[in-house]
Amino acid sequence: MYRRPVYLFLEGLKNVLSGAEQRVSRLVDALESQSADVSAISAGSSNGIRANAETATSQATGAYASIQMQAQTAVLSSTVQEPPPGLISTPAIVGTNTQSGCHPGLPNNSKDRMTIPINHSLEATIARKASGDETMKLGRQEAPAERLRAPKQVRPKEWYVIDAMNLIFRFYHARNLHYRARPSSLNETSLAMLSMLIRRLIRLVDDHAKDGNPLVMVFDARHLATKSGQRLAILPTYKKGRPPMPEDLKQIVPELKAAAFALGANLLELGGFEADDVIGSLATQVRDRGEKMYIVSNDKDFQQLLEDDKIFLLKPVFNSKEKRWSTMTAEDFRESNHGLEPCKYPDIQALTGDAADNVPGVKGIGQRIAPFLLSKAANKDLESLLAHVDILDEKYKRELKPKAEILPQMRTVLTIRRDINLGMALWLALRYRRKINIKEVDRIFGRLGGDSSSVREQLSSIGFKEATYQKVKMKY
């Protein structure tokens, strides 16, 4: 495809050189026709000019041949030389908070990277060219017709990630409150909580998590840690005084996990990490891949993860009269917090404190005053507020000044991590919805002395057909 342009270029160069040779010859002839009294020096000069002209002509001819040879070599080498396979270095699946002006939170110690090979393949065409096949096009081979089709448009997935222990504790306390008049056996409590969990999962799938969108339940695994976490290093009293998990609930949780797994939910539990940090990291990585995520929880700490059209907070309701669960967006947060961005929620919590995590706050500053004070600061953050504390009312100034040094540390403790490396294998495993295994649900209810017929009726109401799903082997 490059032969004709190169040929035309060389022909033009040849014409230019030929014209120059003719002009030099005419100049020499004019010098020789001069009067006979031209000095020997002039004659010598004319002979030198002729010699230089002949030298220039021979050099131009050699340059022409050299250019022609290089052009042919370049044309042929463009089809023979094949670039080696390249390696594109990409960061591992680790998300970060890219919102401007947001506190980064706890430091990240994982700097893993992985390499993905990219194959560059060119078909060698020099053999056919040498055989005289002029119909062969030089350069890259055109892709087959099936490869030229437009890529299939896939709707971005919507992830539904459940804060498992938040729901389970609510089920447990609701059960104990309802049956506080009489004691119940472990199996009765297990069956009641199992029914509540199944109803919530079926409702979530029926109203929200449709079309096979990923469904993940994240469990807290701090008990698997072998050393104190980063938050305890900053605040030794972090979560101190929180009552331990009841013994009967510890025995019920494995059954709830098995039931959720049989109903198609993927279970995620990372040793040494709190569920909030795992959910925050997963949400950030889902966002970075252009997909949406709904965090199913009533925990207000997840408000700091909200982002426009990317991350939402889906609050489950326990009132059967409510038709749908409520969804909180980033815009809802701004409207209720004097225009602050959701990522400023740790700044608010640092001022108000968090009784559930045993994080102290500032006396006299609550959920209504803290966003107002931050909204009046220059950068709408804790540093700007503390830098201009002298202009505040005396009652706020008196309480803020003694805690000016520890408030940024409290914010760090209350900031959800978003940089835990989940790994490619785990990411792919969580990305797809599992199949429902109704026979395993029957076995779980039978083990507890219950009947799963009501569960079958609820599943049939959302279009579940047992014959269309594969069997899933369970291990305990």
Spatial contact of 295 and 279, defined as CB atoms under 8 Å apart: yes
Sheet holding 158-163, edge to edge: 266-268, 215-218, 158-163, 292-296, 311-315, 326-328
Amino acid 155: pLDDT? 60
Average pLDDT, the chain: 74
Please name the amino acid found at residue 436: I
Spatial contact of 139 and 80, defined as CB atoms under 8 Å apart: no
Give tens-digit pLDDT for 338-385: 999 999 999 999 999 999 899 999 999 999 999 999 999 989 999 999
Amino acid 139: pLDDT? 42
Residue 308 in this model has a pLDDT that exceeds 60 = yes
Q: For residue 264, what is the DSSP state?
A: T
DSSP string covering 125-160, please? -HHHHHTT-TTSPPSSPPPPGGGGSPPP--PPPEEE
DSSP 3-state of 55: helix
pLDDT band at 302 (very low <50, low <70, confident <90, very high): very high
Spatial contact of 57 and 18, defined as CB atoms under 8 Å apart: no
| Cross-strand partners of 294 | 160, 312
CA atoms within 13 A on the CB side of 124: 7
Amino acid 188: pLDDT? 84
Q: Where are the beta strands (DSSP E) in 112-214?
A: 113-118, 158-163
Q: What is the mean pLDDT of residues 90-97?
A: 46
Rounded Cα distance, 194 and 253, in Å: 10
- Consecutive H or E run containing 188: helix 186-207
Residue 138 in this model has a pLDDT that exceeds 60 = no
Please name the amino acid found at residue 443: R
Opening angle at CA 83, ends 124 and 89, nearest 5: 145
* Helix axes of 186-207 and 453-461: crossing angle, nearest 10 degrees: 10
Fold observed for domain 159-468: Rossmann fold (3.40.50)
Dihedral sign, Cα of residue 64, residue 68, residue 69, residue 70 = positive
Rounded Cα distance, 266 and 262, in Å: 9
pLDDT band at 187 (very low <50, low <70, confident <90, very high): confident
- Sequence-distant (6+) residues with CB within 8 A of 194 are 255, 256, 259, 444, 445, 448, 450
Dihedral angle computed from the Cα positions of residues 313, 316, 317 and 322, in that order, rounded to the nearest 10 degrees: 80
DSSP string covering 25-85, please? HHHHHHHHTS-TT--HHHHHHHHHHHHHHHHHHHHHHHHHHHHHHHHHHHHHHHHH--PPP
Amino acid 81: pLDDT? 39
Please tell me which residue, 283 or 192, carries the higher pLDDT value: 283
Residue 399 in this model has a pLDDT that exceeds 50 = yes
Give tens-digit pLDDT for 233-275: 899 999 888 888 888 888 999 999 999 999 889 999 988 888 9
Spatial contact of 384 and 448, defined as CB atoms under 8 Å apart: no
Residue 92 in this model has a pLDDT that exceeds 50 = no
Please tell me which residue, 168 or 428, carries the higher pLDDT value: 168
Tokens of 38: 């031209």
Rounded Cα distance, 268 and 257, in Å: 10
Spatial contact of 375 and 256, defined as CB atoms under 8 Å apart: no
pLDDT band at 186 (very low <50, low <70, confident <90, very high): confident
pLDDT band at 47 (very low <50, low <70, confident <90, very high): low
Q: For residue 153, what is the DSSP state?
A: -
